[in-house]
Amino acid sequence: MQVDDVDLGNGRITVAGHVRPLDDLTRQAVLDWLDHRRTRWPNTANPHLLITQKTAVELGPAGKLWTTRATRNLTATLERLRVDRQLEEALIHGPDPLHLSLVFGIDEKTAIRYADSARALLEQAAETRPLS
Domain boundaries, the chain: 1-73, 74-132
The list of the chain residues with pLDDT below 70 reads 129-132
- Give the DSSP per-residue string, 17-72: TEEEE--HHHHHHHHHHHHHHHHH-TT----BSS--TTGGGSSSPPPHHHHHHHHT
Indicate the SS3 state at residue 1. Answer: coil
* Contacts of residue 18, Cβ cutoff 8 Å, sequence gap at least 6: 104, 105
Give pLDDT, residue 26.
84
Query: How far is the C-alpha of 110 from the C-alpha of 59, rounded, in Å?
Result: 35
Give pLDDT, residue 10.
94
Query: How far is the C-alpha of 97 from the C-alpha of 109, rounded, in Å?
Result: 9
pTM of the predicted model as reported, rounded to 2 decimal places: 0.61
Give pLDDT, residue 9.
93
